[in-house]
Structures are given as C-alpha cells and as structure tokens.
Amino acid sequence: MDLRLIPGLGTRTEAPSTVRRLLRVVKLVRYRFFLYAGLMPYLLGAAWAYGVADQFDAAIFWSGLFGVALAVVGVEAFNEYFDARLGTDRVFNPADLPAISDSVFWLGVIAFLGALAVGLFLSYRGGWPILAFAMLGGLAAIFYVAPPIRWAYRGLGETVIGLSYGPWMVSGSLYAQTGHLSWNVLAASLVPGFLIMALAVVNNIPDFHQDRLVGKRTLVVRLGRKAAVALYVGLAASGIAVAVAGAVFGLFPMACIVTLLGAPLLVKSARVARTTYDQPRHFVGAIRCIVSCYLVSVTLFILGCISHAWF
C-alpha cells in the first residue's frame, strides 16, 4: 500500500546507499503500515478479549505485537522491492530511481521468517488456528506484488488487504487471547476491514496511469477513477455503519456507537475527492481525510470495546 502522497509518510526518492535504503524502509513502515494496517486491527482483537470476553494475557499480547511488527516490515520491504523491480515506480521517471538493493528483499525475508517463528510460538501456546490465520496473512502479504501470484496485478489486492487487516488479523488476535471465536467478533472485524480496503482503493487513485501502463489491474484501473471514488466512500461508510448497527442491535458494546464520530472526516474526504480525483496533487486532501477517518473510527471502536469492562 503506498501512501507516499501524504506529507510525512515517506517519499519515492531513492537513497544511493544500501544502509539508507534500509533505513528508508523502516521509516516507511513506522509511519505508513504499522500504524494504519497492522496495529489497529490487532489492538481491536485484544480489546475485545479484554473488554468483552474478560480474558487478557500480557505475554501473548506483546509476543503477537512483535510478530505483527515483523510482518509489516516484511510487507513493506517486499512491496518496495518488487514495485521497483517490476517498474511500477519508474514508468514516468526511469532515470531518477536507481535499482533498489537486494538487501531490501532479504530484509523482507528475515522479517517474514521472524513473524513465522512468533506464529509458531503462539500456536504452540494457543492452538493451530493461530498459525492458520498467520499463514493466510503471510500468503496475502508476501504475494501482494511478488510473483507468481501478484494479487495487486489481478484486481484482488484491495480485497486481500481488507481480509488480512480485517477478519484474519482481528480473529487471530482474539483467538490468541481467548482460544475461541464468535460471529460477533467476525462482524466487528468488518469495521477495520472495510475501512482499510477503502484506504487501499483511495491510495491507488493517484497511481491510475502508471498502474495501467505496467499492467497492475487494481480496482481503480478496472473501474476508473470516478467510480473508484464512489467505491472507497461506500466501503468506508460501510465500516462505520457496521459499528453503529452492531452497537444498536447488541452485537457490540453500546459504547461502540461513538465510531460514528469518524463520519465527518469521510464526508470531507468525499467532497475533496469528487472534484480532484483526476488531479493527483490536489487529491492529497482526500487521502489525508480518509486516513484520519480510519484512525479516528477504529480507535473509537476499540475504546468502545475496552470500556465494556469498565461499565
């Protein structure tokens, strides 16, 4: 997932040295993936275990968090490496971006192996379903842009992201803590799942031309930018709607209804996107707002789950 258009979340300028390339990947992970993708759904699963299921093991929590951190380092390293090798980032400026170092690829391999080790440990402690969720997430992450599968090039990238950072991550986090799953948790996982899928779609709108030229058949390329705006707004609205409906009908703690406070940010993003979807630099405002909507909405949903233990 590439949020490079957001100031402070990284640029596409390649550093000349291997060390600087590795530091750049770590910086991108820190701001871009760990916070938005891996951390929030993992916290949601743990929050449900603590607030609703009344079960929480700190050692399991920190071990799982370490595994998530390793996984997202691997995701970002692989995405950077294979995007550069497949030419996605060079289509309009091939002379400006030197070939990315193989060390970035091996950083990803080591990170994924470390995440697998954590998954095996947690599975030994809590059961084989934890490893199953970890393997599903691993297949999604490793082959998002890597051959031979390349989910993003088959129009499945956004869906894979939604599943990985929605049902799979939330369910795996909860199962590690409680040893069981529930339909209510599956419904709760749709909140970050829909919202992160919306982020994946909106992020590809500025990359429409280069993705199309290199054969990256994202949903934006398949549907067009104008339709993609309606899609990402609908996905994000669905995430918020699930939280509110679940609170009203008793699937989630009633406090989760505060997730609705993220809606104004979605409305603001939609207003900007409606007139700037074909102007990448002006579209930055829409991306900022939907990122903020994701953070605010999922954070409030998590706090709503935790508060169930207090009241």
Q: List pLDDT tens digits, range 242-280.
A: 999 999 999 999 999 999 999 999 999 999 999 998 888
Topology of the domain comprising 18-307: Farnesyl Diphosphate Synthase (1.10.600)
**Residue bearing the bigger pLDDT, 86 or 67:** 67
Reported as a pLDDT band with limits 50, 70 and 90, residue 5 is very low
The chain-wide mean pLDDT, for the chain, equals 83
Which DSSP helix (H) or strand (E) runs through 306?
helix 284-307
Minimal CA–CA distance to 35: which of 78, 83, 3, 81? 3
- Every domain of the chain and the residues it spans: 18-307
Q: Write out pLDDT tens, residues 229-247.
A: 999 999 999 999 999 999 9
Indicate if the alpha-carbon torsion angle 31, 32, 36, 40 is positive or negative: negative
Give the pLDDT band (50/70/90) at residue 3. Answer: very low
Read off the DSSP letter of residue 252. Answer: S
What is the band of 29 on the pLDDT scale with cuts at 50, 70, 90?
low
* pTM of the predicted structure, to 2 decimals: 0.83
- The 10s digit of each residue's pLDDT in 177-221 is 999 988 999 999 999 999 999 999 998 899 888 888 877 888 999
For residues 288-301, give the mean pLDDT: 93
Q: What is the pLDDT of residue 155?
A: 82
Going from the C-alpha of 202 to that of each of 15, 17, 73, 142, 208, the distances in angstroms are 27, 32, 22, 22, 10
The Cβ of residue 170 has, within 10 Å, a number of other Cβ atoms equal to 29
